[in-house]
Amino acid sequence: MTTSDFKIIQNFLSQHCGIVLGDNKQYLVKNRLAGLLSIFDFSSFSELVNNIQMTGPMSLRLKTAVVDAMTTNETFWFRDDMQFHELKEKIFPEIFERKAGTVKVWSAACSSGQEPYTISMCAEDANKKIGKTRNVQIIGTDISETVLAEAKAAVYSELALSRGLDAQTKSRFFQKIHEGYKLNPTIAGKVRFQPFNLLKPFSVLGHFDIIFCRNVLIYFSDDVKRDILSRMVNSLEPGGYIFLSSTEAMPVAIKGLEPVRSGGVRYFKKVS
């Protein structure tokens, strides 16, 4: 891969999905995209780069494949588990108490579904806690249609379940089938999935009571990060909540939020 090839890939990812790659990431790009050469029958990275700049069905498939290869889909169940404990024990009951109607949750950059399905499990337990059945709708979005197809199937391997899921939760919510473990329809039914690019307007998604936007903004420039978070605040209902990962900080430029420290975690509430 030449420096020129790398620069074109850099620009493509920045413009198409906001991912910013440092100049020291050429080796990473080469490794991630190497498999596409044989899939698309290219003889070199230069041929791949030439085709990514074209239009037409083949170029569109290639662009999608490049994004899939370059987006990191690291995820597991109950990641940052204290956040989910707070969600189940405090946030869902509080919203159930003050709001009539459906509670809406957005899991942004949801990868293969572990995060939104974990949220659904928390909603199920919160309903049991209050002794009622409140309707919770969760939308999981991701730019990669490949991982969304995995999420929609709601079937996971033994290895995938071992990442963050204890034996009791596994037995409660999954059934062994030939292909692996199938998620209980009660949990899966609260979640729908949709391909979505965080650079696009959020108005098509509606408004939410809770937004999870974790471990994705680290790939964006500071300006893009602020833009995404500002628009997420606008998509929150008054009194709604937004979660970043435990290692991420909310930019000081973001207005309309107040930090909440509870249960050993920090998250943010939209000021009414």
pLDDT block averages, 10 residues each, the chain of length 272 = 91 86 88 91 92 88 88 84 96 93 96 96 93 92 91 95 94 95 96 94 96 90 92 96 93 93 92 79
CATH 1.10.155.10 domain span(s) along the chain: 3-70
What is the pLDDT, as a whole number, of residue 72?
A: 66
Q: Residues near 176 by Cβ (< 8 Å), separated by ≥ 6?
A: 182
**pLDDT value of position 20:** 83
Residues of the chain within CATH 3.40.50.150 domain(s) are 81-270
On the CB side of 65, CA atoms within 13 Å amount to 18
The pLDDT of residue 220 is: 86
The CATH number of 81-270 is: 3.40.50.150
Q: Name the helix (H) or strand (E) containing 127.
A: helix 114-130
Coil, helix or strand at residue 165: coil
Looking at residue 58, its pLDDT comes to 86
**Closest C-alpha among 47, 35, 34, 40 to residue 8:** 47
Cα–Cα distance, 223 to 166 (Å, whole number): 39
Indicate the residue type of 158: E
Identify the CATH class of 3-70: mainly alpha
Strand partners, 203: none
Tell which residue, 29, 28, 84, has the closest CA to residue 214: 84
pLDDT of residue 19: 82
CA-CA distance, 163 to 78, in Å (whole number)? Answer: 9
